[in-house]
Structure 1
């Protein structure tokens, strides 16, 4: 069996080891991933082709970056406004939400920011993306950082491409590259995330947040997380209830993004998720019950900006018309990003 037995609300685990070998196992892996995406929208993928030492090294580089003095990190600041999503975002700059557009709702945008997100991030993309230019810190500030992260970005894209192919096979599409061909790799986003320690009471009383409930804008997201915990996924059997996405060493937590849900006419589920308190009391430290520092690294695999996302023909029929109008990736991104910064 490629996947472990699961309940309706649990996140399945799929072993990807035999994907490259082909044969019957390949089809079973693809079908298991699609089943998870239909039911839960999330899946742990283990034994993928990213080596353990490379994932460990990515977290080590992330620690080194966030341990730099603030003045060094600010040499690569997130550009002002929402249009460019690159560089260093300091705590409080970004506000994650499900709101669609701030064009005519400045009051709503201000209300969202009354509860700040206590995290900092650094966003990286393709150096060939001229509309989303990278904001690199000087090489002398952290020698080797840019070289490693550039390679890791493209290795994540390679693995993400394999998963998109598996999704196409599992959905019964004739061309396994049907989804992948709209992704050149130049419009992805690699994000390093640091959640500093914060008093548990501040999160419990909602005076602060780590990352509020939201869905992702991408086709799919690949997430690497440390052992701290705190990621939660909405229980599809009980809306408003969240279940922990317990860390599994070296596993990729893959989830469906909004664009793939639109693309599949809601056959695949883009599920709300959040980062909050770690699930166990021993995750707190000291009398003030400070949360442990948490690191995670998501990679957002997005179509190219001018790609038109229209309903896949196999996901509609005479009794199931398309639920969404066609939209470009750039158009959808604009609706979401304008509320975030």
Structure 2
């Protein structure tokens, strides 16, 4: 009897998104299976150049290296960190006693200031002290927005929706690119972790630069599974809004960033997630395609994505 399949550790798969054009049915089936199992998948073959990613990381690191007083010029109290800078130990994972060990910046969508969503989506702030920050930051934002829409096309097909189902629901989404700096950890036995166990709020999250150790995903069996990527792979996971819309067919999986148990704890860690949000007026009612006798409707009240976002930002102490 072959026991190798049982003894091999589980692994979040890496799939090449170019197969969407060359081997669509199989790619959609494999992608859907990965998300149903893990809520996570690593995507390669996306075409976002190393030059863009490296240039953006360099600009972000130069910003975080600025003196605290320079960074605080871009902190907007009372805004929930919607744009600009959020300092250390502000965001706190839901139900956690300790704030996260991180500082971050938010880049949002550039929209027409006459848009009906302009009040909900403030103009971007850009640090004058860091050449290239705006150019690299917004180009990476747009590249990840495009990649996210490609992933959503495959996810739509997997649950028998039209391929373009999400297109007009994300074209003015309140999506966020969040460069994060986790500082070196000097103190031993510190109770805070770099990012406490949480689920994401949005439709999907695309994480550039998960090559550093620390990211862990909670499996169905209740075990923490480390994720590190190789090559150009970008980690893409389901958020709570898509979990709600898909009636939990696509699960929003708990994950965290732990402090390394080795010398890497004394090195800074940087990561750049892109939180792809639906347009603020999208109603997150479970889709009929995802309601079955085995998976009855889980939500009775209608909620827009903006209402849901505000509710969650209060829970994590950003507003």
Normalised to the residue count of structure 1, the TM-score between the two structures is 0.83
Q: Which runs of 5+ in 1 are unaligned?
A: 100-111, 285-289
Q: CA RMSD in A?
A: 2.2
Give the corresponding residue for 1:316: 291
User: Within 1, Cα distance between the matches of 2:121 and 2:71?
Assistant: 19
Distance 1:318 1:43 in 2: 27
Find the aligned partners of 1:81 and 1:57 in 2 and give their Cα distance.
Answer: 28
2:163 maps to 1:176: yes
Q: 1:189 aligns with which of 176, 179, 187?
A: 176
Instruction: Assess, with a 3 A threshold, how the Cα gap between structure 1 residues 69 and 200 changes in structure 2: closer, same or farther.
Output: closer
1:300 aligned counterpart, secondary structure: strand
Q: 1:333 to 1:245 in 2, by over 3 A?
A: same
1:222 corresponds to 2:206: yes
2:110 match: 127
Which whole-Å CA distance do the structure 2 matches of 1:161 and 1:255 have between them?
13
The residue that corresponds to 2:11 in the other structure is 10
* Contact persistence 2:173–2:280 (CA under 8 A): no
CA-to-aligned-CA distance 1:154-208 (integer Å, 9 cap, x gap): 11111100010011122232x11112321114410000000000136334xx2x2
Aligned residue among 167, 189, 193 for 1:209:
193
Question: How many angstroms does 1:303 deviate by?
Answer: 0.6
Report the equivalent of 1:80: 78
Q: How far did 1:45 drift?
A: 0.6
Kept after mapping to 2: 8 A contact 1:157/1:185: no
1:277 equivalenced with 2:271 (yes/no): no
Distance 1:227 1:8 in 2: 19
Structure 1 residues 37 and 227: CA distance shift in structure 2, 3 A: closer
Q: Distance in 1 between matches of 2:100 and 2:182?
A: 9
Aligned to 1:46: 44
1:16, distance to aligned residue in structure 2 (A) = 1.3
Match of 1:160 among 141, 148, 170: 148
Asked whether the equivalents of residues 219 and 258 of structure 1 are also in contact (C-alpha less than 8 Å), the reply is: yes
